[in-house]
Homo-oligomer: A and B are copies of this chain.
Amino acid sequence: MTPPPNAPGTSAPARRLRADAQRNRDRILEAARETFKAHGADASLEEIARRAGVGIGTLYRHFPNRNALLDTMFRESIDALCAEASQVSDSTDPYGAFVAWLRAQLQHAMTYQALAASLMISELSDESPLNACGEQSACSALRATADAQLARAQAAGVVRSDVDADDVMRLVNAIALTSEDATDGCAAAERLFGLMVDGLRVAPPP
């Protein structure tokens, strides 16, 4: 018999948590979301603990390091992104679907600013402390989705066949990364995104 689901709170680790622990965990995640959004990826963990109203020791008990916290935060939003992708896959326009998904991913990357990128990077470079914190990483799920989306567009002959998902993901992250600090972040990103998409497309025959 499977154990009962883990209370209304956010995603749960392997073992069932005590009620107070679950409550604190949720508070920490909420505080982390706010604080990271306000101060970037290297916001103070102590401030997060303060904001959550727990001791610093409690934060570290739940999340042994900064990346563990980030990883948990993103798993949810990335899940949403992947879900969106599988919806979009049912559409009949392969190129439009591909671009739409890319744009959603850009949006996501920009929202989470450098955080997503820093996770992505530490993962790609295989020194990933993330892999230590459980199951399949959020990042590889995203990768798999990107693979599928790209393969579909390539099979339909609308996207260059000599790029791989890695290239595309990096470009998107790159655009988010360099545009976010510009004075007109969104406009800059949109311009670069347009360039990228044009570059990826297979030109319709003359």
A residues within 8 Å of B by Cβ? 117, 121-122, 124-126, 163, 166-167, 170-171, 173-175, 177-179, 181-183, 188, 191-192, 195-196, 198-200, 203, 206
By beta carbon, the residue of chain B nearest A185 is B125
Residues of chain B with a CB closer than 8 A to A117's CB: 178
A121→B181 contact, CB < 8 A: yes
Residues of chain B with a CB closer than 8 A to A182's CB: 121, 124-125, 170
B167→A195 contact, CB < 8 A: yes
> What is the copy number of this chain in the assembly?
2
By beta carbon, the residue of chain B nearest A201 is B199
Residues of chain B with a CB closer than 8 A to A198's CB: 199
Give min CB distance, A180 to chain B, whole Å: 9
Give min CB distance, A119 to chain B, whole Å: 11
